[in-house]
Amino acid sequence: MFENTPLARRQWTGLDDQHLASIGFVNFAWNALERKFASLVWVTAGWTQEVGELVVSGMGNVSLVTLFFNLLKQELKKRDDRRLWEQGAQTGILFDAIRDARNDVVHTFFHCDPTTGAEGYFKGSPRKSTTGKVEVRTVAMERSDIDELCRAISDCLESIDDLILKLWFRRRFLRNRRAPAHSYERAVHGWQDPPFDIGRLRFYPKKRSRRVGGAHGGGPAESQAPGRARRAATDAERRPVAAEPAALPSGVQGPVLVAGEPTGRRVPPAPLRESGRG
């Protein structure tokens, strides 16, 4: 019977309540990250929160990442900043990887067949295999997988806070015509010591790319990365010419840090009991 009891929850999911609670926590953490990334978009554009909320409402997350990349390129036309671009690009790529992983966790189903011994967590894949059949692939649901996703969300949140502050310091520096040019790095990137390590942003997308590539039975991990992630990585290497600047609403001022206060590093949930992987 499908009811909300410990026994039924275990029967339908194969997970104990602590493990299920951690999945619920991931969902709430994703909602917070989604909101935080939206605030990064309107701060990058230089919009007020009221204007930013109006622009990004109803946009999909993929479109939101693309919009952020374009707005950041536009901002960097005023003065090139390779470090700021690389951190922004990696933050967008990580946000995309987290979104994919969260969707897997939320939309997976548990299958157990005692007659064959088959047991695991599966999700229908939107793409077809080389045989023309729709794939059903396994989903990583072990304790370590959930903990890694939580750490990735934490890193992404911290990077967004860092980017918002750097954009604010950058604009303040550029408005001050008397500021010596050589002090730019210290003014923008030296607000915390040591500075944010963008290497933390690369770890999870690479690991997930290898995992997803293996689950699909594809070639090397790099070939399985989403097209938008590959394009963003290429952007970070070659810095293509930015698109034509979008028309900003009249009366728009500099960034408003309403939703961009530093939040500090998040602590992942307590270790959970090991659970089988499909």
Contacts of residue 216, Cβ cutoff 8 Å, sequence gap at least 6: 125, 127, 135, 137, 224
Q: What is the pTM of this model?
A: 0.71
Q: How confident is the model at residue 142 (pLDDT cuts 50, 70, 90)?
A: confident
Check residue 131 and report its DSSP letter. Answer: T
Q: Work out the mean pLDDT of the chain and round it to a whole number.
A: 77
Q: Provide the residue ranges of all domains of the chain, joining segments of one domain with +.
A: 10-238
The H or E element spanning position 222 is: helix 221-224
Q: Which of 72-81, 164-173, 222-231, 253-262 bottoms out in mean pLDDT, i.e. has the lowest?
A: 253-262
Q: Which of 19-23, 48-52, 57-61, 163-167 bottoms out in mean pLDDT, i.e. has the lowest?
A: 57-61
Specify the higher pLDDT residue, 261 or 186.
186
Residue 155 pLDDT exceeds 60: yes
Q: What is the pLDDT of residues 198-218, one digit of tens each?
A: 999 999 999 988 877 655 444
Q: Judging by beta carbons within 10 Å of its beta carbon (0-12, 13-18, 19+), is residue 188 exposed, middle or buried?
A: buried
Per cent of the chain over pLDDT 70 is 70
What are the Cα distances from residue 28, in Å, to 80, 150, 196, 263, 268? Answer: 36, 11, 25, 16, 13
Q: What is the pLDDT of residues 238-264, one digit of tens each?
A: 443 333 333 333 443 333 333 333 444
